């Protein structure tokens, strides 16, 4: 039995439609339908196809690793996969070249502004009446302003792991969050998908990225450093994210 037949049969036995599987896995219906027919062309490569098979298998109650091994034996490319094969190059965003400022004009405008302000203050100071001296009689005691103090900010250690993944403009990135209990959440950000995703866990969380260079990762609001040339797996606790093999 092929991978697609096994997934389709398990889905029907579980009483699920393709739409329901798509909603549970965040995988488009066209990709789910294609995999059930043995067509992996819409997956975008072997790396993404394996991830889709794992997600769909978990949703319909099958062993994902057995199906991935079957895929590697029958469908995967025989040549070793390189970073150039996995990631399609994105169209570079053309930035308009800034014109250099004409400093002579800027300095002239600044000089005219300073002279104008100085002349206005000079003329206004001569025409304005003198202000009466402040009264210091016992009937009108001068009030002494109370000193102001800035609020004290207490730095408290984080009590959870909060990961926020934001897509880079013009890029699309596959992700998979795995909680400490083994629950997984995967999908895409960027392109036609949402531009960000946030997950929160009590103690630790594992994050897999298919295209780290197309996203920015924040741990409890602090920006993390990502590899940009190959897929990456990170183990994140409350303080740091560490790359794992």
- The pLDDT, as a whole number, for residue 97 is 47
Q: Is 45's pLDDT higher than 50?
A: yes
Identify the weakest region by mean pLDDT among 54-63, 73-82, 103-112, 133-142.
Answer: 133-142
Q: How far apart are CA 232 and CA 245, in angstroms?
A: 8
Burial class for 160, CB neighbours closer than 10 Å (0-12, 13-18, 19+) = exposed
- The pLDDT, as a whole number, for residue 66 is 92
- The pLDDT, as a whole number, for residue 164 is 94
- The pLDDT, as a whole number, for residue 132 is 52
Asked whether the whole model's pTM tops 0.85, one would answer no
Tokens of 26: 């965040």
Q: Is 166's pLDDT higher than 90?
A: yes
In three-state secondary structure terms, 134 is coil
- Geometric angle at alpha carbon 189, from 232 and 66, rounded to 5°: 55
Residue range 75-99: mean pLDDT, rounded: 50
Every domain of the chain and the residues it spans: 3-78, 161-244
Q: Per-residue pLDDT tens for 93-145?
A: 444 445 555 777 778 888 888 888 877 777 666 665 555 554 555 555 565 65
Tokens of 11: 């889905």
CATH superfamily entry for domain 3-78: lambda repressor-like DNA-binding domains (1.10.260.40)
């Amino acid at each position: 039995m092929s991978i697609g037949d096994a997934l389709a049969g398990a889905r029907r036995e579980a009483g699920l439609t393709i739409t329901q599987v798509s909603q549970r896995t965040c995988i488009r219906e066209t990709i789910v339908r294609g995999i059930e027919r043995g067509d992996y062309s819409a997956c975008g490569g072997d790396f993404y196809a394996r991830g889709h098979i794992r997600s769909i298998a978990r949703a319909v109650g099958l062993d994902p690793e057995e199906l991935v091994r079957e895929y590697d034996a029958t469908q995967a490319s025989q040549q070793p996969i390189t970073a150039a094969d996995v990631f399609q190059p994105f169209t570079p965003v053309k930035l308009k070249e800034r014109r250099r400022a004409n400093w002579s004009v800027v300095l002239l405008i600044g000089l005219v502004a300073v002279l104008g302000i100085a002349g206005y203050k000079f003329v206004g100071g001569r025409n304005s009446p003198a202000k009466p001296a402040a009264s210091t009689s016992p009937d009108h005691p001068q009030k002494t302003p109370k000193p102001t103090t800035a609020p004290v900010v207490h730095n408290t250690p984080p009590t959870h792991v909060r990961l926020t993944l934001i897509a880079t403009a013009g890029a699309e990135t596959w992700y998979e969050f795995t909680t400490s209990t083994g629950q997984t959440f995967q999908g895409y950000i960027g392109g036609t998908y949402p531009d960000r995703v946030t997950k929160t866990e009590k103690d630790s969380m594992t994050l897999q990225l298919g295209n780290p260079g197309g996203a920015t990762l924040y741990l409890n609001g602090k920006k993390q450093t990502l590899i940009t040339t190959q897929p990456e797996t990170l183990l994140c606790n409350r303080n740091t994210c560490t790359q794992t093999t």
